[in-house]
Amino acid sequence: MTELTDLTAVQLVDAYRKGEFSPVDATRAALRRAEEVQPAVNAFVRIDAEEALAQAESSAERWRSGEPRGLLEGVPVSVKDILLQRGGPTLRGSRTVRTEGSWEEDAPSVARLREHGAVFIGKTTTPEFGWKGVTDSPQSGITRNPYDPSRTAGGSSGGSAAAVALGAAPVSLGTDGGGSVRIPGSFCGIFALKPTYGRVPIYPASAFGTLAHVGPMTRDAADAALLMDVISGPDWRDWSQLGPVAGSFRAGIEGGVRGLRIAYSPSLGGQVAVRPAVAAAVRQAVESLAAQGAYVEETDPDFTDPVEAFHTLWFSGAARVIEHLPPDRRELLDPGLREICAQGARSSALDYLAAVDVRMELGRRMGRFHQTYDLLVTPTLPITAFEAGAEVPKGSGHRRWTGWTPFTYPFNMTQQPAATVPCGVDREGLPIGVQIVAARHADALVLRAAHALYEAGGARIAPPATD
């Protein structure tokens, strides 16, 4: 028998409409699941049970009166604790954040969820200021993988990924500055989309600048399309937001992939060592797209690893995040964060502009690439989840998290839409993700191709155990 915590947002809204059960039922189930799994995975920094149930009661009344407020009326949601949500402090994984104050403002994406009737069950964990590709922090501890709690959930939206995978609300809002929805999405076996930069308004502006995106983390691509129809709404506080969306993301999701030109790059031209289990699962997903009528060619985008330029941009942004802190409060920071901030503070304006030049050239190359190919498909990550509490896999030789995420951060530099779709598991039962990338503004095409994988059955893996 299907449990309420197994249902997607689309299925919940349909059931509410039919009167099969109410938002109160779904919210109670999500809260119960959140409380059950929290000791093992540590996905939440705060669970707001009383407030969530009050919101659910109001939502149920609107459904009874035939006046649902929006597209997510009564759907339980969670929000990464990087994004402002009124009613409580946004701690950002840091002991340096002062909690006093009224905390009365929602981030744009959170405000859109509220306007559409979503029920907020809690805030999810993040590494300090979202600085790395795993989720642990001095403020909230280690977030663990739902498939194996000895492994990492990934990051920096690891709490959101674990919560969605375990049924503690079907959708969550995450942020992605170098892979931060796609990395944990891949490790935790869920769908996650980094939209085109500016498609989802951001406020306050990120210190990481135009690398940072807000995106949906969901059970499948259909839920992400629904969420995108909500959070892509305009907000005057974001000076860099894109113009209004032409149409609905849900409208074209059933279009399939027949006739699309897909470039399949298994290792970015031999630059990345990919584990055999990952390579095999990703190839199988590509074969599914080809079987559905896409024209697939094994080829590579024309760029070398831009990691040094990314580091200049990322580390400089991190230095800016903590610039206001006096020396005694900096001692409270994650030691790794202190290290990259020191490195970023040594970068000059010319260093930064040189990194911007690399970024612009990378964007130009990918723009040209997409004149030939509609989509680029790669592994999301070359590995599966490793030990929890570590920034890099033991014995890997990597110094920073970027060493094992070479497929993700380049597309933050280019601002392109990119999603991870679960495509299998390795011998240890750990999820594997395939990444789908499109040209800037082609978010709907990414969602369409991802949905085609779900419809073909190639994107559905067994959920993690919750006993």
| Cα distance between residue 410 and residue 412, in whole Å | 5
Helix residue spans in 42-77 (DSSP H): 49-64
Token reading at 329: 């409060």
Q: Which of these is catalytic: 94, 140, 156, 265?
A: 156
Q: Which of these is catalytic: 109, 140, 180, 186?
A: 180
Q: With contact defined as beta carbons under 8 Å apart, do 277 and 426 qualify?
A: yes
Distance of CA 30 to the CA centre of its chain: 20
Which has the closest alpha carbon to 127: 177, 169, 93?
93
156 labelled catalytic: yes
Q: How far is CA 182 from CA 125, 214, 427, 429, 434, in A?
A: 16, 12, 21, 19, 10
- φ, ψ for residue 392, nearest 5 deg: -135, 155
80 labelled catalytic: yes
Element (H, E) at 359: helix 349-372
Element (H, E) at 108: helix 108-115
Which has the closest alpha carbon to 26: 52, 5, 50, 8?
5
Q: With contact defined as beta carbons under 8 Å apart, do 291 and 284 qualify?
A: no
Distance of CA 85 to the CA centre of its chain: 18
240 labelled catalytic: no
| Cα distance between residue 12 and residue 21, in whole Å | 9
Concatenated DSSP letters of 293-358: T-EEEE---S----HHHHHHHHHHHHHHHTTTS-HHHHTTS-HHHHHHHHHHHT--HHHHHHHHHH
**Which of the 8 DSSP states describes residue 460?**
-
Residue with structure tokens 């995108």? 228
Burial class (CB in 10 A: 0-12, 13-18, 19+), 295: middle
| Cα distance between residue 63 and residue 446, in whole Å | 32
For 42: left if phi > 0, alpha if psi spans -120 to 50, otherwise beta; the answer is left
Q: With contact defined as beta carbons under 8 Å apart, do 193 and 449 qualify?
A: no
Q: Which of these is catalytic: 22, 59, 78, 80?
A: 80
Dihedral sign computed on CA atoms, order 277, 279, 280, 284: positive
Q: Which residues are catalytic?
A: 80, 156, 180
